[in-house]
Structure 1
C-alpha cells in the first residue's frame, strides 16, 4: 500500500477546506435571504443559528454588554467620580502604542465632557519606550507623588506592576488599572483597583476588549444618561476603532466588532477634530471609503510610529489637541515623516533578520534573535520586524534590541503557541525584568547575559506544548468558487461579513483555471489572467514574483484567495487577491 504525503502549495503550506453541512447552509440562506457562500462563511465562523448570524451581519453598539457588572468597575467609577467632584489631581498614564494612546485620549475626552478642565486637574504621561521601557516604573510613581497626584489611572499597562502599585498606595495615591495584558485567571495587583474582564472572579462576558475598549466602557458608565451622551460615545468610537483593530484583539467578539463597525461609520462621515482630519489626510483616506484594513495598515501604523521612532506618543495626543487645521496639518506631517522613517528602519532590520536566519542552523521552534541598537536593531521596530519573521517563516519569533546591557525584546507568535503563557511559565523565577502582552504578541526585557537562557527555556517549553505539525502553515478555505461565479454582486454580498480582522478573517476560496497571461508588476508583484472556458479572472499575488518561473502560461493552477473590487481612476474592476497558489493535479 502506498502512502501519499499531503500536497503542499508553492509556498510550502497545506490547505484545508471547511465543509459545513449543506442543510445548515440552506437553512441560513433561506432564513436571512443571503448568498449561499455568505451562509457558508458564517457557519465556518461558528454562527449556526439565524439569530446569531443576523446579529453578526448587523453589528451595533447595542451588542456591547452593559459595563457595570464588570468586576471593580463600580469602585473605579466611584474613585474617578469623587476625584472629579473634589477637583483632585488625576494623572492618566498610557502605553506608547495605538491601544494605550487611544485609550488615554478617550478618558481625557470624557473627563472634559464631564466639565473637568484637564490642564488644571487632569495630566497625562506616556513612558518613553527607549529610556523607560514598557509599563509602569518607580520613576512614574515618584513623579506623580511629587506633583501632588491623588488618583493615578493606567491604560494598557500596569496589570503586572505589583511593586509600583504598592509604592503608589504607600505614597497616598489611589490607583485604577485599566488593562487587558493578562492570561485568564492570573493574579492581578492588590494595591490598585483593576478593571480587566480576564481577572479571577469576573463574569463579564466580553473578555477580549482592548484597553481602549475598556476605556470606552468606562466613558459609557461615567456619562450615564447625560444629554448628548450617546452621540458623544459614538464619536469616541472613531479613535477606539483604530486602537482596537491595531491591537489585534478578536473581531469575532460582538463588542469589538460593534465598536469597529461604528468607528468606521464615523470615520467615513468625516471628523470635526482637526487632528483626526489631518491624520486621515496624510494617510490618503480623505477621498475614498475607509475600511477595516485602513485602520490596521494606514492609521494604526502612523500612531504607533510616534512611539516607535520618538519613543512616546505625546505627539499624537498633541495632534488630537490641535485647535486649528494648520496646527493639525503640521503635526500630522511630522507623524507621517516618523512613519516613513519607521518603514526604512524596518526594511533594513528585516533584511538583517533574514540573513541571520539563513546563515545559522534553525532547529529551534522559536526564533530568538538579538542585536545592538546601534547596529540597526531599533528598539521601537523589533516588534513589527518580528511580525515579518512570523509571516515569512511561520515560527514564533522574539527579536531583541540590546542597549546598556539590557535586551529589550518583542515577540510575535503563531496561533498554536500562546506567547504570554510561555513567558509566564518560563519567567516564574525572575528571568525577566518586565514582561506583558497577549497570546499573539508580547514585550519583555532581561539582562543581556540571560539571552541564551531565554532561548533554551522558551524552546524547551515550545517542544513540550507544540503539536508536531504546528510549524507548517495551514490555510483554511471557506469553499470553492467556480470562475464563472466570481462577480461584483458576490463581492458586495460577502462585504456583509465585514469588518474583518483577528477571529473574522477575509473569506478565502479556491479558484481553478489555466494561466492565460502572466506579468510582473513593479518588479515584485505577480499578475495572472486565469481562464476556464469562456470565463476570465485577474489574479494578483503581492510580493511573490519569485514564483513566476513555476507558473508558466497554460499551467493549470488552484488559487487560494479572496475576491475584491479595485477602483482605479474612476474605473471599477473585479480582481482575485491570492494568498497562495498550487499546481493542480
Structure 2
C-alpha cells in the first residue's frame, strides 16, 4: 500500500478557522480539506437544514415538467413512471409513483428487464405504454441520451419528462422537459444529485404547487438517502442534507419495505456505510437475479406483513447473488492463475455461462485482488458483454475508447463501464486493451493508495474529538471518514489473528508505555501480525471508531494498514 499524507491545504485559513470555531488545529485542518473554510460554511456543514435545499424551479425545465404533470392529472391521463433497474432507478420510481399516487390514482410503474431490454429507456417500454393507454412517461435515472426513443414515443402520441443526472451528449432528447443539473444550460446551483435526487426535486416542486411544505416530504427521504449511498455521489451540499435527514427516517420511521430489510440488523443506528452494505445490495439483487419490479413492489408496499414477504423473496435473490458472485470470482481467479496472467497490466477474463447480473461485482472483486483495470466477459445473445472496473485515478473509459475499433458499443465513466463485442474480436481486443493500459498507466497507479488526512498522537484522542468527528457524518465521497497516522506504536503482547479463517488482526496498542491504549481491529491484516510482536515499534494508519458490545460503547481504532516504524 502507498501511504499518502495530505498536505495542510491552507495553514492561514486553518489557524483562522480554528480560532473562529474554538476547535483544535486538527479539526480545522480536516474541515479545510473538505472545502469548509469559513464560520458560515462550518455551521452549514455541522448543522444541515432544510433551508439549505435550493428552489427546485432553479432547475431548467422544472416549470414545464410541473405544468405537464398537472395537465395530465386534470385531464385524467395515465402516467407511467419509468426507471432503471439499479438502486438509484428503483428508489426513484418508488419515490415518484408513491408520491403521485398519494393524490392521483392513474399511475403505474415500469422497470426494464436487465437482460431482455438492457439499460435505460427501451422501445419495449414505450410499446407497453402505447398498448396500455399511457400518454405521459416520467423517466428517472435514465433518458438523457434517449433521443431515438423519445422521438419514437412522440410519434405514438406519448410525451416524456426526463429526470436524469448523467452527463448529456451534444444533443438533448425532444422531451417536454429534461431535468438534469448537468445540462450546460442549467443554472441549478448543485450539480451532484443522483437520479432519485432529481426526482425528489420534481416532487418538491409539485408539492409546493399544491401548498405542501418540505416537512410533508420527509417520509420519502429514506428512499433518497438509500439512492445517495448506493450511487456513490458526493456527500456535499444538498446530498448531505438529504442523506442526513433520510438516515433519520431510516433509523426512526422507515417505510415498511426498508423496515423489513433491516429487521434482523442488530444495530441501534444505521450509518451511510450500513445502507451501502446492507440495504443497497438487497435492492440491487432483484434486478440482478430476477427483475427490478420486485424492488419497486417492496419499496412501495405499505402493509408491513406484505412487505416482509417481499423482503423474504429479496433475501433469497441476494443469497443467490452472493453464491454466484463467490463461485464466478473463484473460477475467474483460477483462470488467471492457470493462464499465468498474474503479471499483466490488466485482467480480462471470459466464460460464456457466467451470470450477466453479477459480472460487475466480480470485476470489483478481481480489482481488489490484482489491483489493475479489469474486464469480466460473458455471453449475451450472439455477442460478448463485459463489465469494466478501474483503479484509483486511471480512466478505464478512455482506455476502452482507444480500443473502440473492436467494440460494438460501450458506455460508462472513469471507474466503471459496460461494453459488447463480437466473439471473434475477443482475443484481438484483449491484446490491444493490455497494450493501451501498459502504455498509459503510471507505476504509482498500480499500487493501492491510502490517503491520510493527518498525523495524530494518542494524546489528541479524547471525548471532544470523537464527539466532533461524529458530527462530520454522514460520510461518503468528498467527505470520507477521516484517516489518521500514528507512529511508534507497540502492542500489549496479546495481539492475535481472529475470525473464522483467522484473516483479521486484533491488537491493543499504546504510543507511550504509561499513556492511553486502544483496542484496534484490522480486517484482512492478520498476515502482518509479525510486525507487532515482541514489542516491535510500528506505524499504523486507522480511522477512529466506536465499538458497541453488551450495551457498552468504547473507542476502537479501525486499522487500514501497518508498517515497521
Match of 1:116 in 2: 104
Write out per-residue CA displacement over residues 454-496 of structure 1, whole angstroms, 9 at most, x where no aligned residue: 5455555546664553223222211112123333432222111
Whole-angstrom CA distance in 2 between matches of 1:335 and 1:570:
31
Contact 1:95 1:134 in 2 (8 A): yes
Match of 2:367 in 1: 390
Match of 2:384 in 1: 407
Contact 2:375 2:387 in 1 (8 A): yes
Match of 1:333 in 2: 312
What displacement does 1:35 show?
Answer: 3.8
What displacement does 1:444 show?
Answer: 3.6
Higher alpha-carbon deviation: 143-152 or 30-39: 30-39
Matched, 1:195 2:215: no
What displacement does 1:528 show?
Answer: 1.6
Match of 1:543 in 2: 524
Match of 2:224 in 1: 240
Contact 1:14 1:472 in 2 (8 A): no
Matched, 1:449 2:434: no
Contact 1:367 1:396 in 2 (8 A): yes
Whole-angstrom CA distance in 2 between matches of 1:186 and 1:495:
43
Match of 1:223 in 2: 207
Whole-angstrom CA distance in 1 between matches of 2:135 and 2:16:
58
Alignment of 1:454-533 (within 5 A): 454-455=429-430, 458=433, 462=437, 466-512=441-487, 513-516=489-492, 517-522=494-499, 523-532=502-511, 533=513
Whole-angstrom CA distance in 2 between matches of 1:116 and 1:467:
56
Q: CA RMSD in A?
A: 2.5
Match of 2:239 in 1: 256
Match of 1:370 in 2: 350
Contact 2:140 2:195 in 1 (8 A): yes
Write out per-residue CA displacement over residues 434-468 of structure 1, whole angstroms, 9 at most, x where no aligned residue: x4444333334344334345545555554666455
Whole-angstrom CA distance in 2 between matches of 1:58 and 1:424:
43
Match of 2:132 in 1: 147
Q: Which of 240, 250, 256 pairs up with 1:274?
A: 256
Determine helix, strand or coil for the equivalent of 1:305: helix
Write out per-residue CA displacement over residues 302-332 of structure 1, whole angstroms, 9 at most, x where no aligned residue: 111111221x221222223334322222221
- Provide structure 2 residue ranges, at least 5 long, that are not aligned to the other structure: none
Whole-angstrom CA distance in 1 between matches of 2:27 and 2:259:
34
Whole-angstrom CA distance in 2 between matches of 1:32 and 1:95:
44
What displacement does 1:558 show?
Answer: 0.9
Contact 2:390 2:396 in 1 (8 A): yes
What displacement does 1:230 show?
Answer: 1.8
Determine helix, strand or coil for the equivalent of 1:414: coil
What displacement does 1:363 show?
Answer: 6.2
What displacement does 1:426 show?
Answer: 5.3
Question: Structure 1 residues 483 and 383, CA, compared in 2 at 3 Å: closer, same or farther?
Answer: same
Alignment of 1:280-295 (within 5 A): 280-282=262-264, 284=265, 288-295=268-275
Q: Which of 152, 158, 161 pairs up with 1:173?
A: 158
Higher alpha-carbon deviation: 64-73 or 186-195: 186-195
What displacement does 1:391 show?
Answer: 3.2
Matched, 1:46 2:35: yes
Matched, 1:298 2:281: no
Whole-angstrom CA distance in 1 between matches of 2:148 and 2:124:
12
What displacement does 1:191 show?
Answer: 5.2
Match of 1:9 in 2: none
Whole-angstrom CA distance in 2 between matches of 1:554 and 1:30:
40
Contact 1:206 1:255 in 2 (8 A): yes
Match of 1:3 in 2: none
Contact 2:94 2:300 in 1 (8 A): no
What displacement does 1:239 show?
Answer: 0.8
Determine helix, strand or coil for the equivalent of 1:223: helix
Question: Structure 1 residues 386 and 31, CA, compared in 2 at 3 Å: closer, same or farther?
Answer: same
- With structure 1 as the length reference, what TM-score do the two structures score? 0.89
Whole-angstrom CA distance in 1 between matches of 2:153 and 2:402:
28
Question: Structure 1 residues 246 and 539, CA, compared in 2 at 3 Å: closer, same or farther?
Answer: same
Match of 1:101 in 2: 90
What displacement does 1:55 show?
Answer: 1.5
What displacement does 1:281 show?
Answer: 0.8
Whole-angstrom CA distance in 2 between matches of 1:202 and 1:329:
42
Question: Structure 1 residues 487 and 384, CA, compared in 2 at 3 Å: closer, same or farther?
Answer: farther
Question: Structure 1 residues 158 and 460, CA, compared in 2 at 3 Å: closer, same or farther?
Answer: farther
What displacement does 1:338 show?
Answer: 2.0
- With structure 2 as the length reference, what TM-score do the two structures score? 0.91
Determine helix, strand or coil for the equivalent of 1:150: strand
Determine helix, strand or coil for the equivalent of 1:469: helix
Whole-angstrom CA distance in 1 between matches of 2:24 and 2:333:
43
What displacement does 1:365 show?
Answer: 4.3
Matched, 1:72 2:61: yes
Whole-angstrom CA distance in 1 between matches of 2:4 and 2:437:
24
What displacement does 1:511 show?
Answer: 1.9
Question: Structure 1 residues 261 and 157, CA, compared in 2 at 3 Å: closer, same or farther?
Answer: same
